[in-house]
Amino acid sequence: MNTAQSAPALERELADMLVEVLHLDMAASDIAPEAPLFGDQGLGLDSIDILEIAVAISKKYGFKLRSDDPDNDRIFASLRALASHIAEKRGP
């Protein structure tokens, strides 16, 4: 797994992407890895935000996140969950 990116590094990269793509008024370092991405707690993202993130992830990491994936609630549960999913899809 020496070619794979470490989980904390991928989480930081994704936090930077979230701030940039969604024009969030916060520093990437302020996004807690376990904080919910959806709803009133955490970042409070909505479905349009998630769509924008999915497009950015597709461009950067080379695989698609589908809107009809039954695992989306789990995939987008937190920054850590999203990073884990990307690491799994990209492989070593």
Number of domains in the chain: 1
Please compute Rg for the chain using Cα positions: 12
pLDDT at 5 over 80: no
Q: Is the pTM of this model over 0.85?
A: yes
Q: Are 75 and 69 in contact (CB under 8 A)?
A: yes
Inside any domain, residue 53: yes
Inside any domain, residue 43: yes
Inside any domain, residue 35: yes
For residue 82, the enclosing domain spans 7-90
Inside any domain, residue 45: yes
Q: In 1-92, where does DSSP find H-type helix?
A: 7-22, 47-61, 72-75, 79-90
Inside any domain, residue 33: yes
Residues 23-41 pLDDT 10s: 999 999 999 999 999 888 8
Of all residues in the chain, the percent with pLDDT exceeding 70 is 93
As a whole number of angstroms, the distance between CA 71 and CA 10 comes to 20
Inside any domain, residue 1: no
pLDDT at 2 over 60: no
| Tokens, residue 38 | 């959806």
Binned at pLDDT 50, 70 and 90, residue 74 comes out as very high
Instruction: Return the amino acid letter for 26.
Output: M
CATH of the domain at 12: 1.10.1200.10
Inside any domain, residue 2: no
Inside any domain, residue 20: yes
